[in-house]
């Protein structure tokens, strides 16, 4: 096949009579392929098939939505439990400083091992 | 008659000389002993100890109710556990130390010889002491009765100690301690004016404080409240309160006797 002649023919530079037999066949194959290509890309599915395909995409989206809703509900429940519902204070109400406990421990020990002053 | 008086005088002088000699032997003795201390009164307590005693120094290994070692060396006190000793700001005195202190200050009130041991009685402001000491100058038993509290120290075994302080101290890992227990100087000074004290924890508002109730040497009661924060201390109508602010603590001294509180103020101002 002469590629220059093939392209020149398609561009309308010269007529079919200039082409040799091989190029003519190629041109014919090209038009056949173009026809199939057009048929393929101009295809429009039926409304039923379109709905079926769209439904296939919508279903996972709904599952994601339900999961997101579930996470939000759990987060809200945690927030209410730990921030809004009154709970018992587990920290010791009375704080003893280090200096106080050291004095107490020391005096207790001296009292224990000694018998007075 | 004259002969009788002469004989009585000889007996008295001999007894006095003998008494002096065994007392001297006792005061200068070095011994090791295992002993039990029992205190009976409003509160009861007991201890089992091993003691190494030299004329001026002492190492006591308390076995029960706590495992603790304390030592006196050249008038300084160390306490703790092997490899964790700290200097004690307060004197640690056992019943024997208190007996010797009163024996030196007050002298012997009454002396009896029972077989091969002496019964020595010493009356003092700290109570009535009765000690049983052998002719060799080794102690057997010391009892103190004070304010319905009887404290009894019984040696179950005593033997002459040949080891030096350093040798025994090395065995217990006792070295000169680098750290001293943090005790406010005011408490130390006030406790130097009392015979004994009790210590307890108390809650004032949201603050945990230490309550010390002590028996002043004058006989009156003196109380102290030690806190890391300023607290409201309620007192009785007949009590006086002294508030002291330290570096990171507050000390409240409560006394019924105004004179005692003035003494405390004077004592503290001398040290500042």
Per-residue pLDDT of chain A (117 residues; tens, 9 = 90+): 678 888 888 888 888 888 888 888 888 899 888 888 888 777 777 888 888 888 877 777 778 888 999 999 999 998 888 777 666 655 555 556 888 999 999 999 999 999 887
Same domain as A56, residue A73: no
Same domain as B214, residue B154: no
Maximum C-alpha span of chain A: 135
Same domain as A49, residue A8: yes
Number of separate helices (H) and strands (E) present in chain A: 4, 0
Interface contact flag, A113 B228, Cβ < 8 Å = no
Same domain as A27, residue A77: no
This model of the complex carries an ipTM of 0.85
Same domain as A40, residue A13: yes
Given a contact cutoff of 8 angstroms between Cβ atoms, the answer to whether B268 and B255 are in contact is no
Quote the minimal CA–CA distance from B218 to chain A in Å: 14
Picking from B121, B148, B171, the residue at the C-terminal end of a domain is B171
Residue with tokens 């308390």: B62
For residue B142, the model assigns a pLDDT of 97
**Residue A19: domain span:** 3-64
**Residue B258: domain span:** 185-271
Same domain as B11, residue B133: yes
Count of domains in chain B? 2
Tens-binned pLDDT, residue by residue, of chain B (272 aa)? 667 766 666 655 555 555 558 889 999 999 999 999 999 988 888 999 999 999 999 999 999 999 999 999 998 999 998 888 999 999 999 999 999 999 999 999 999 999 889 999 999 988 999 999 999 999 999 999 988 899 999 999 999 999 999 999 999 988 876 788 999 999 999 999 988 899 999 898 888 999 999 988 888 899 999 999 999 998 888 899 999 999 889 999 999 888 999 998 998 888 76
| Residue B134 within any structural domain of the chain | yes
* A92 near B CB under 8 A: no
| Residue B179 within any structural domain of the chain | no
Contacts of A115 in chain B (CB under 8 A): 37, 39, 93-95, 97-98, 144, 151, 153
Predicted model pTM = 0.68
Q: CA-CA distance, A60 to B51, in Å (whole number)?
A: 84
Interface contact flag, B196 A96, Cβ < 8 Å = no
Of the residues B90, B97, B126, B224, the best mutation for testing chain A's interface (the one with the most A CB atoms within 10 Å of its CB) is: B90
- Burial of residue B271, with CB atoms counted within 10 A of its CB: 0-12 exposed, 13-18 middle, 19 or more buried: exposed
Given a contact cutoff of 8 angstroms between Cβ atoms, the answer to whether B181 and B89 are in contact is yes
Count of domains in chain A? 2
Q: CA-CA distance, B224 to B200, in Å (whole number)?
A: 11
């Amino acid at each position: 096949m002469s590629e220059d002649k093939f392209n020149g023919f398609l561009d309308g530079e010269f007529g079919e009579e200039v082409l040799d037999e091989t190029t003519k066949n190629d041109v014919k194959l090209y038009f056949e392929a173009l026809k199939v290509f057009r048929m393929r890309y101009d295809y429009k599915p039926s409304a039923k098939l379109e709905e079926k395909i769209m439904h296939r995409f919508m279903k996972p989206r709904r599952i994601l939505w339900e999961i997101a809703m579930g996470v939000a509900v759990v987060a809200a429940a945690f927030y209410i439990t730990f921030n809004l519902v009154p709970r018992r204070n587990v920290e010791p109400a009375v704080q003893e400083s280090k200096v106080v406990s050291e004095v107490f421990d020391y005096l207790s020990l001296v009292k224990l091992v000694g018998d007075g002053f | 008659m004259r002969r009788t008086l002469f004989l009585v005088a000889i007996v008295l002088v001999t007894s006095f000389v003998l008494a002096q000699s065994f007392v001297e032997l006792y005061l200068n003795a070095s011994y090791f002993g295992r002993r039990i201390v029992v205190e009976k009164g409003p509160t009861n307590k007991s201890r089992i100890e091993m003691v190494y005693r030299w004329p001026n120094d002492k190492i006591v290994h308390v076995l029960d109710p706590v495992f603790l070692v304390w030592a006196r060396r050249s008038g300084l006190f160390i306490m703790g556990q092997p490899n964790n000793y700290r200097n004690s700001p307060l004197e640690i005195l056992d019943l024997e130390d208190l007996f010797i202190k009163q024996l030196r200050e007050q002298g012997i009130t009454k002396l009896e010889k029972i077989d091969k041991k002496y019964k020595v009685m010493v009356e003092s402001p700290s109570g009535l002491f009765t000690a049983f000491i052998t002719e060799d100058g080794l102690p057997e038993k010391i009892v103190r009765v004070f304010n319905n509290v009887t404290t009894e120290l019984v040696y179950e075994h005593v033997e002459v100690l040949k080891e030096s302080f350093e040798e025994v101290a090395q065995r217990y890992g006792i070295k000169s301690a680098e750290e001293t227990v943090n005790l406010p100087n005011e408490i130390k000074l006030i406790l130097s004016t009392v015979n004994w004290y009790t210590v307890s924890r108390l809650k004032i508002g949201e603050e945990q404080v230490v309550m010390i109730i002590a028996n002043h040497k004058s006989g009156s009661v003196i109380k102290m409240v030690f806190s890391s924060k300023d607290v409201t201390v309620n007192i009785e109508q007949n009590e006086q309160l002294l508030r002291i602010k330290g570096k990171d603590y507050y000390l409240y001294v409560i006394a019924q006797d105004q004179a005692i509180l003035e003494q405390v103020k004077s004592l503290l101002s001398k040290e500042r």
